Structure 1
Amino acid sequence: MRLTHPERELWPEDGITKGELFEYMGSIADVMLPHVRDRPVSLQRFRGAVGDGGFFQKEVPKGAPDWVRTVEVPKKDGVVHHVLANDQRTLQWLAQQGCVTPHVFTSRADKLDRPDRLVIDLDPSTEDFAAVRTAARLCGDALRAVGLEPFAMVTGSRGIHVVVPLKRTRAVGDVADWVAAFAADLAAAHDDTLTTEFYKNKRDDRIYLDVARNRPAQTVVPPYAPRPRPHAPVATPLRWEELDDDALKPDGWTLRTIGDRLAELGGDPWADITSAARALPRG
């Protein structure tokens, strides 16, 4: 694969280039691919430095090699041909396209209407990350109480994603309705710290339980995806007990340091996430 402009600096303050992003996507493929394979991708692309802004693209870029797999996703006035990042060279081809963050569906291509992931995005109103960690633990306790198994991921931005693997027994609309009701109940039980209020000016200092990513054709940031933020942080799966660590940061691991973490842990802490899938409760 020909890599053009490898010297282009995507994160100029750190000297991180397009070439380094390309190499990262190759080196991280073994642990990242299980989390993105067969999931339609929306590309967050940048033609220059990430600080200069980018754009989202759902349709497969023109000139894609014939080995890049795609899937047709219906929309109101036709279909969108989304990329499927199913192998290492496709991940690296995305980097060649200037795609810093590949955002993925919560469902897989063979059953687009049956999600196998449920995601609750804990979006803070302040810089108090200890409060976000506490909210994630509350969320996890409530999910376990209804028979589901939660996993936590720092997003590389400001918050935490609580992710639940699901058996593909319920339609996407049912999943979206269920998690919306779950979030509303959790916020009502902890209305001093949590909220489902969409408007920021009505949240005060409370943490927003964002469940919108569970709606049809919505996407989420997958594990190990770089983020277009200072120092190239990456979305990083956690062991659940790491939520108790006061030193934990939402953007503590970067494109350059995540490999050391994986080596220290002996691999991906979410390697067995699929085996924890449960059917979504009724009601």
Structure 2
Amino acid sequence: MSTSTARAVRAGRRTVDIHRPDKVLFPGDGITKADLADYYRSVAPFMLPHLRGRPLMLERLPDGIDGPRFMQKDTPAGYPDWVHRAEVPKEGGTVTHTVCDDTATLVHLAVQACVTLHRWQSRTRRLEAPDRMVFDLDPPPSGGTAEDDFAPVRRAARLLGELLDALRLPSALMTTGSKGLHVIVPLDGHSDFDEVRAFAQDVAATLAAAHPDHLTTAPRKQSRGDRLYLDVQRNGYAQTAVAPYSVRARPGAPVATPLRWDQLDDPATHARRWTVATVLEQARSDPWNGAATRPRALGPARRRLDALR
């Protein structure tokens, strides 16, 4: 089939051209560039609230998942002028990140083979003030079945959710689309990155101390054994986490998908359950039910945590 033609699609108020729409990006699944663009256009109403105003790091795979991939921070000069940008300080200079504020930008990124979008924990108007705290839970090495590997992740998420409830912090649960889960806490944006990361470290340390046979905060793999690592490193300045409803560059086109907490107890729930072909029904059900939009201040939670330690 020829891949030299272009296809124009309507995306919000704009029309975006998909060049080489039949180029296959997921060979084992037959998913083309046009399919990826159609997916992101369809999921835009659910995904954009989690992207707007945030600098992005983009995972690009111009030749599909079997080809080379690279992480793009700086916005190419050839991007349309209607794509929003944010000039962000870095050591020794600045970098101009892409900001995805509308459906047309989301589709344009898909056309550029940006398969996965990773977002900052803060927004451009207050770069130093994160409004998200993220706990990253990946399975420890076991060599068992996928369900066996995922069981420790499910257990850790449940324990973490209970602790956050005790601290009166709302939390939202999401598959990463890879191997594990993210637990996300919305914040009011009045604490800086150092404060948020220190608090996340203390939450993780408290939980690991209560369950030392199963959980650890040891950064060195050699020190973890078969315990699950409670990773809070995504809470630093310029660190990113996969955005909700992002496609992962893996066979099957799994999607990072928000879950209801009661879905954690479903034995069928695992990291690859929702894909490009199935995620929209889950998205339409609003699995977070607003949980990711009810921010809290860290001060009262810090006092409650200190009382528990």
In the alignment, structure 1 residue 282 sits paired with structure 2 residue 297: no
Q: Is the 8 A contact 1:114 1:172 kept in 2?
A: yes
Matched residue, 1:69: 84
RMSD: 1.3
Are the structure 2 counterparts of residues 271 and 64 from structure 1 closer, same or farther at C-alpha, using a change threshold of 3 Å?
A: farther
Deviation at 1:282, TM superposition (A): 3.4
Aligned with 1:144 (options 155, 165, 180): 165
Q: Is the 8 A contact 1:156 1:233 kept in 2?
A: yes
Query: Which of the pair has more CA radius of gyration?
Result: 2
TM-score (ref. length: structure 1): 0.95
Instruction: Report the 3-state secondary structure (helix = DSSP H, G, I; strand = E; otherwise coil) of the residue aligned with 1:53.
Output: coil
Q: What is the letter of the counterpart of residue 55 of structure 1?
A: F
Q: What is the letter of the counterpart of residue 259 of structure 1?
A: L
Deviation at 1:275, TM superposition (A): 4.0
Q: Higher mean Cα deviation, 107-116 or 253-262?
A: 253-262
Deviation at 1:271, TM superposition (A): 4.9
CA–CA distance in structure 2, aligned partners of residues 39 and 208 of structure 1? 27
Structure 1: which 4+ aligned runs deviate by more than 4 Å?
none
In the alignment, structure 1 residue 239 sits paired with structure 2 residue 272: no
Number of aligned residue pairs: give it.
280
In the alignment, structure 1 residue 79 sits paired with structure 2 residue 97: no
Matches for 1:127-138 after TM superposition, within 5 Å: 127=146, 128-138=149-159
Deviation at 1:260, TM superposition (A): 3.0
Matches for 1:51-130 after TM superposition, within 5 Å: 51-125=66-140, 126=142, 127=146, 128-130=149-151
Q: Is the 8 A contact 1:130 1:246 kept in 2?
A: no
Paired-residue identity, %: 48
Deviation by residue 1:245-277 (Cα, 9 ceiling, x = unmatched): 111111101011112333xxx432225135421
Aligned with 1:268 (options 286, 290, 293): 286
Instruction: Report the 3-state secondary structure (helix = DSSP H, G, I; strand = E; otherwise coil) of the residue aligned with 1:148.
Output: coil
User: Which sections of structure 2, spanning at least 5 residues, go unmatched?
Assistant: 1-15, 304-309
User: Which sections of structure 1, spanning at least 5 residues, go unmatched?
Assistant: none
CA–CA distance in structure 1, aligned partners of residues 99 and 235 of structure 2? 19
Aligned with 1:20 (options 16, 35, 60): 35
Deviation at 1:19, TM superposition (A): 1.0
TM-score (ref. length: structure 2): 0.87
Q: Is the 8 A contact 2:59 2:71 kept in 1?
A: yes
Matched residue, 2:190: 169
Matched residue, 2:207: 186
Q: Is the 8 A contact 1:51 1:229 kept in 2?
A: no
Deviation at 1:137, TM superposition (A): 0.5
Matched residue, 1:32: 47
Deviation at 1:201, TM superposition (A): 2.8
CA–CA distance in structure 1, aligned partners of residues 243 and 288 of structure 2? 12
CA–CA distance in structure 2, aligned partners of residues 24 and 150 of structure 1? 27
Instruction: Report the 3-state secondary structure (helix = DSSP H, G, I; strand = E; otherwise coil) of the residue aligned with 1:28.
Output: helix
Q: Is the 8 A contact 1:72 1:79 kept in 2?
A: yes
